[in-house]
């Protein structure tokens, strides 16, 4: 049995989640529930593989190639019934890097990239920093869930000659797991308007209850024509880093089924001088994408889902002015504090310096995040309980 209740002291280990806010003056006993990594140890099989590598002690240039690709192929086949071939995989040091490369490869300066509002912050950054125009389509909040405004997406794509649509599935920060119909609608719009689709599926293993993650292209497989057309435009970004807490090791995989598209992305990556992912990162991924890794991930998911239910229940009963948006996927909960009528600065200060709980400020994810906070619940239940008691005391 894995003990996810164990509290690990992450301070003074370079953990961005802990050490960075402290360096900015936050009290050391602030509960850090921001940035999307987990406070848990990775799977024992990953630790063992890395220990073995350290024991071996040679860290030269490393390419596991076939062994690595087989781990990927096997994982996607078994877990998602999704067939990939080794020649469809591009290894990168991270999904954000891959997103930036896609922006550069498939659009020119001043051309438009469409993202949602709210949306994961790095989408905005990689677009803006590469001098592309950000076009936003607002998500609609209805019945406590967020929805895509497809008419608006299509209108904005046409009006702005959008070259790339970049989105994440499952959705960070609002917790939606886009369903088949929604993915098909997006695909149709992109195919009709020849827009490149950059689907960031880094949170794919975290879906809750009846929800199922559908890989973007997999959603289209019943419509052969649509599938074939969309395949020529689609880039799927994946990583073991969220599921196995490996972000510090830097490894991600982009899946591109179209050869021309893949070569374009690889050419852009080639220009950076980056050409080989770290050996330890490859070892970690191969150990993670195994039966042992899968069993561990199942236990982890049970624990996190229980945390999600606990937070929802606690807030509903004890801090009812906060509205918890339905969490269909990810370990990030989207909390609506708007009933308190506080401005962004007041809300942040009240949480960080009053309650001593650091959540991600909703505004970071776009203007529609104003009044919302994102809570990372991939941590021990005890710490979560403590954070909720603190929030209750300060906000009630």
Ligand X SMILES: Cc1ncc(COP(=O)(O)O)c(C=O)c1O
**If 0-12 CB within 10 Å is exposed, 13-18 middle and 19+ buried, where does residue 394 land?**
middle
Q: Do 106 and 262 touch, CB atoms closer than 8 A?
A: no
Interacting residues with ligand X (CB under 6 A)? 36, 94-96, 120, 122, 168, 172, 200, 202, 239, 241, 247, 252
Name the percent of the chain in helix, strand, coil, to the closest 5.
50, 15, 35
Contact between residue 160 and residue 112 where contact means Cβ atoms under 8 Å apart: yes
DSSP 302-342: HHHHHHHHHHHHHHHHH-TTSEEPP--BSSEEEEE-GGG--
Q: Which is nearest to 231 in space by CA: 254, 256, 253, 213?
A: 256
CB of 330 to ligand X, least distance (A): 8
Residue 176, class by beta-carbon neighbours within 10 Å (0-12 exposed, 13-18 middle, 19+ buried)?
buried
**Nearer residue to ligand X within complex by CB, 207 or 319:** 207
Instruction: Quote the least distance from Cβ 242 to ligand X, whole Å.
Output: 7
Cβ–Cβ contacts within 10 Å for residue 194, how many? 12
For residue 32, the cross-strand partners are 358
Nearer to ligand X, 72 or 191 (CB): 72
Beta bridge partners of 361: 373
What's the min distance (Å) between Cβ of 177 and ligand X? 13
Q: Which residues have CB under 8 Å from 232's CB, separation 6+?
A: 258, 260, 261
| In the complex, minimum distance from the CB of residue 318 to ligand X, in angstroms, rounded to a whole number | 28
Give min distance, CB of 201 to ligand X, in A.
8
- Residue number with CB closer to ligand X (93 or 279): 93
CB of 25 to ligand X, least distance (A): 24
CB-nearer residue toward ligand X: 36 or 135 = 36
Residue 166 burial (CB count, 10 A): 26
Q: What is the DSSP letter of 132?
A: P
| Per-residue burial over 372-381, b = 16 or more CB atoms within 10 Å of its CB, e = otherwise | bbbbbbbbbb
Shortest distance (Å) from residue 149 CB to ligand X: 20
| Least distance CB 96 / ligand X (angstroms) | 4
List the one residue out of 202, 289, 267 whose CA is nearest residue 237. Answer: 202
Minimum distance from residue 241 beta carbon to ligand X (Å): 5
Give the distance, in angstroms, between the CA of residue 311 and the centroid of all CA atoms in the same chain: 20
Nearer residue to ligand X within complex by CB, 166 or 191: 166
Nearer to ligand X, 102 or 355 (CB): 102
Ranked by CB distance to ligand X, the top (closest) residue is 94
Q: How far is the CB of 183 from ligand X (least distance, A)?
A: 16
Closer to ligand X at the Cβ: 94 or 314? 94
* Calpha distance 175→323 (Å, rounded): 14
Which tokens belong to 64?
């596991």
Report the sign of the C-alpha dihedral through residues 333, 81, 148, 141, in that order: negative
22: CB partners within 8 A, 6+ apart: 11, 28, 30
Q: Is the preceding peptide bond at 338 cis, omega within 30 degrees of 0?
A: no
Between 101 and 355, CB nearer to ligand X: 101
Closer to ligand X at the Cβ: 171 or 314? Answer: 171
Nearer of residues 93 and 354 to ligand X, judged by Cβ: 93
């Amino acid at each position: 049995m894995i003990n996810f209740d164990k509290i690990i002291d992450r301070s003074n280990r370079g953990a961005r989640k802990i050490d960075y806010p402290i360096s900015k003056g936050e009290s050391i006993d602030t509960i850090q529930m921001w940035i999307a990594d987990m406070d848990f140890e990775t799977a024992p099989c990953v630790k063992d593989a890395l220990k073995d590598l350290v024991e071996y002690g040679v860290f030269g240039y490393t390419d596991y190639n076939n062994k690595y690709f087989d781990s990927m192929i096997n994982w996607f086949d078994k877990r998602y019934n999704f067939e990939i071939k080794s020649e469809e995989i591009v290894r990168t040091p991270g999904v954000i890097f891959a997103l930036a490369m896609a922006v550069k490869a498939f659009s020119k300066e001043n051309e438009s990239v469409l993202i949602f509002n709210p949306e994961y912050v790095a989408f905005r950054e990689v677009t803006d920093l590469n001098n592309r125009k950000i076009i936003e389509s607002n998500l609609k909040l209805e019945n406590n869930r967020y929805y895509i405004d497809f008419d608006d997406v299509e209108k904005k794509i046409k009006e702005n000659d959008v070259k790339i649509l970049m989105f994440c599935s499952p959705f960070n920060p609002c917790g939606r797991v886009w369903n088949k119909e929604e993915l098909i609608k997006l695909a149709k719009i992109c195919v009709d308007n020849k827009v490149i689709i950059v689907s960031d599926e880094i949170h794919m293993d975290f879906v809750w209850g009846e929800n199922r993650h559908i890989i973007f292209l997999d959603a289209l497989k019943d419509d052969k024509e649509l599938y074939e057309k969309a395949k020529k435009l689609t880039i799927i970004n994946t990583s073991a880093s969220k599921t196995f807490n490996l972000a510090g090791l830097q490894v991600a995989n982009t899946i591109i089924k179209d050869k021309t598209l893949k070569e374009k992305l690889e050419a852009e990556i080639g220009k950076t001088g980056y050409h080989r992912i770290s050996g330890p990162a490859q070892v970690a991924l191969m150990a993670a994408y195994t039966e042992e890794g899968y069993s561990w991930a199942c236990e982890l998911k049970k624990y996190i889902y229980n945390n999600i239910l606990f937070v929802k229940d606690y807030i509903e009963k004890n801090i009812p002015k906060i509205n918890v948006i339905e969490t269909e996927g990810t370990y990030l909960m989207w909390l609506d504090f708007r009933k308190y009528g506080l401005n962004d600065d007041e809300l942040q200060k009240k949480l960080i310096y009053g309650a001593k709980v650091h959540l991600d400020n909703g505004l970071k994810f776009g203007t529609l995040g104003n009044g919302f906070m994102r809570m990372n619940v991939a941590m021990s239940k005890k710490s979560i309980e403590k954070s909720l008691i603190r929030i209750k005391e300060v906000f009630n």
